[in-house]
Amino acid sequence: MQKFYGKLAGYGKALPRKVVTNEELAQRIDTSDEWITERTGIKQRHVVSEDEQCSTLATQAAREALAKAGIDGADLDLIIVATSSPDYLTPPVSSQVQHELGATKAGAFVMVVGCTGFVSALITADQFIKTGAYKNILVVGVEVITRMVNWEDRNTCVLFGDGAAAVVLKAVEFETGIKSHLMGSDGSGWEHILHPSGGTKNPPTHETLSAGEQYLTMNGREVFKFATGTIGKALHQVTTDAGIGLDDIDLFIPHQANARIIEYAAKSVNMPEHKVFINVNRYGNTSAASVPIAITEAFDQGRLKEGDTLALVAFGSGLTWAACVLTV
């Protein structure tokens, strides 16, 4: 029986033009560069302007990934967009991206799993290729989180940034791509990362707007506890399932939520610092976009090259997590 594998054939990113530093935030709210840096490792973040949307960032990143893969939109069989901040609740932003790319034969859908989204979408795309159903799949992680936060709340607004990145998976007949994966959920902590108003349970009204329920809320202490307890376990499981040790990993890219979380988790599994990719200092938490942005930067910086073994772990709202080990 013929076997297919998902080769990471192209990658690209798109970032808003505007950059907001910690010093600029300190002029608006009760905070300081020292306070933010000490707790999160974040120094700046990209923030969308009026003419930049989830769909435009996603399309820009996708075009760059397609160009590197040597294909165009018409060659795509499927588009998966991971995001929790689309242009509209409906239609799905994946269809907007599909139209802009001229991907006339592609199916398209959105995966809404918060910061876990891109890794979950990548695992899903790989399954479609392994079954032989599709040959060319675009996976996008994109967020415009800064339009969902209260810029007067220093506990949340300092954390997030906007951005997009995409990869193309191509079906090949030689062994490569994802070796092992896992996805998990602990719904008992669903309220720890919450957008209170905007869904069907609590639609927007004058009352919800007055109460500030249109803004994202997060229980930082509980999320920190969840993340630090999850990353190491997930990494151990996928490496074991792949039949390799932590020493065999060339690069580890965790979700870029907080440098302190990443440092704690890496230390807990004795992962050498030079093998851990961190760029949260320049982008903040870009949710579903953080892992693919890091992948594109790792390639561009020469820290990741064809044939390397890459480990990815993401965690986010739900509470959810996803991880995989792959050959790039």
Token couple for 84: 């929790």
The secondary structure of 26-72 as a DSSP string is: HTTSS--HHHHHHHH---EEEE--TT--HHHHHHHHHHHHHHHHT--
Active-site hit among 22, 136, 258, 285? 285
Instruction: Give whole-number Cα distances, 322 to 74, 183, 227, 235, 313, in Å.
Output: 30, 4, 12, 10, 6
CA distance 83 to 117: 7
CA distance 268 to 54: 35
- Sequence-distant (≥ 6) Cβ neighbours of residue 57 within 8 angstroms: 14, 15, 16, 48, 142, 144, 162, 163, 164
Instruction: Give whole-number Cα distances, 135 to 62, 71, 167, 182, 186, in Å.
Output: 17, 12, 14, 23, 33
* Active site (annotated) includes residue 324: no
* Active site (annotated) includes residue 115: yes
Active-site hit among 46, 255, 258, 324? 255
CA distance 154 to 34: 13
DSSP assignment, residue 93? H
Q: What letters, b where the CB count within 10 A reaches 16 and e where it falls short, cover 207-224? A: eeeeeebebbbbeeeebb
Beta bridge pairs of residue 81: 110, 140
Sheet of strand 78-82, all strands in order from the earlier edge strand to the far edge: 5-14, 163-172, 136-143, 78-82, 107-111
Active-site hit among 54, 115, 157, 324? 115
Burial class (CB in 10 A: 0-12, 13-18, 19+), 151: middle
- Known catalytic residues are 115, 255, 285
